[in-house]
A = this chain, B = another copy of it.
Amino acid sequence: MKNPFALIPEWVICVDSDNRVLENHAVIVDGATISAIVPWPEAHDHYPQIDLVELPGQALIPGLVNAHTHLAMNLLRGFADDIPLMPWLSEHIWPAEGRHVDPQFVEDGTRLAIAESLRGGVTCFNDMYFFPDTVARVAGEIGIRASVGLITLDFPSAWAGNADEYLRKGLELFEDTRDNALITCMLAPHAPYTVSAETLGKIRKLSDQLGMGVHIHLHETAGEVEQYLQTHGIRPIAKMAELDLLNTRLAAVHMTQLTDDEIATFANCGASVLHCPESNLKLASGTAPVAAMIDAGVNVGIGTDGAASNNDLDMFGEMRSAALSGKDKAGDAAALPAEQILRMASINGAKAIGLDAITGSIEEGKQADLAVVNFNRLELQPVYNPVSHIVYSANRYDISNVWVAGKQMLHNGEHLCFDESALIDNARSWGVRIRSGTV
């Protein structure tokens, strides 16, 4: 298809500040940008030569933002299930990672995960994993928008030997990707229980100097908070406050264990929360008080977490789980209505990672990061409210078309940028090696 082109869906679900849902409108894409949203067919005379993409019975939505994930862990999808967080990590996931994680594992896992993401309507992800240079390179090659975490730990891994080496390699990557329109970086200390206060202090200085966001796991389980309190005499969030890390650049993942004061603190400092409902439920970590946070004014995005703990990168399933578990937690069926949930899966996630000026909603001047949900199935009839349908009835296989920065990535459910059977064969061969425990 030539660029510019006009998308003419049944519904344009803008996810702008007014939550507008437009009918009889076209979205004009020019280069990488949404250049106009116009009444249609009235405005057709202004675009006499433009290519038309007619999408009857389909809804155009902002490309979804998976605000917290570990993409390469796709190769460990379903490797160990029905086990609590700490034994799951220490007895299953960490040993497998120790045996297998290297640049090839990260490249192959990330590629599989990006293919899964795009077909499910995700056009932007916020990752945290080893070998972030590989993640950035693969994302750039494919052409998906990526916020790459400059992972930092106080213990060695195949990627780096100590905290200073993690930071040095991370800053090199930051420099290398500064001119890439699709790739941004966040500082990514794993968690307060794996990164010392000294290292967190260095990260705070870098964040201030470079204006970089900070992406960290925080208050995931009651046990983690309790153990930190016993060891350090202070709750992790209070330690983060001491270190001056609670500000608009912070994106804190999980946050299932919160006092009312901690919710107010987050609202006041303008930090964001990245909510991973399915991972938290599956690991029985607790449930984040999402409705209370949103009522207090906290910006909350949604992430799938890695496929090892979820077991997919399905933002449709995650939206549904966020709505259902959020209503249950609030004890209120009116809490977290569908419009709010869709915001969390798009513009709120973009805001949390500092990209809300360019993606996460359908507005003139923003990047053309777009997905189409095809309602022309008996499973989705009748349609009373397309937003409710996206959250409560549709699933990721209902995505028909996807564009990132104006470039089409998916057409009628088929990938334009992947050899799917090669991806499947590659993942199967990893599965055989990982199952056998050999390197």
> Given A324-B281, A332-B84, A379-B119, are A311 and B78 also a contact pair (CB < 8 Å)?
no
Stretch in A45-53, A243-251, A420-428 with 4+ CB within 8 Å of B: A420-428
Query: What 0/1 pattern do residues 287 to 315 of A give for CB contact below 8 A with B?
Result: 10000000000000000000100111010
Given the interface pairs A324-B281, A324-B321, A325-B328, the reply to whether A78 lies near B383 with Cβ below 8 Å is yes
A404 beta carbon closer than 8 Å to chain B: no
A312 and B379 contacting across the interface, CB-CB below 8 Å: yes
List the one stretch of A148-156, A160-168, A352-360, A392-400 in contact with chain B: A392-400
> Which of A18-26, A173-181, A230-238, A333-341 contacts the other chain?
A333-341
The answer to whether A83 and B333 have CB atoms under 8 Å apart is yes
Docked CA distance A384–B80 (Å): 8
Q: Is A41 part of the binding interface, using a Cβ–Cβ cutoff of 8 Å? A: no
Q: From residue A254, how far is it (CB to closest CB) to chain B in Å? A: 14
B332 contacts A392, C-beta separation under 8 Å: no
Which chain B residues lie closer than 8 Å to A424 at the CB level? 376-378, 381
A331 contacts chain B at the CB level, 8 A cutoff: yes
CB of B311 within 8 A of CB of A393, answer yes
Q: How many monomers of this protein are in the complex?
A: 2
- B321:A428 contact, CB within 8 angstroms: no
The main secondary structure of chain A at its interface with chain B is: helix
Kindly list chain B residues whose C-beta atoms are within 8 Å of the C-beta of A317: 317, 320, 395
CB of A228 closer than 8 Å to a CB of B? no
Q: A115 contacts the other chain (Cβ, under 8 Å)?
A: yes
A435 at the binding interface (Cβ < 8 Å):
yes
Contact between chains at A333 and B282 (CB < 8 Å): yes
Taking CB atoms, residues of chain B closer than 8 Å to A284 are 327-328, 330-333, 335
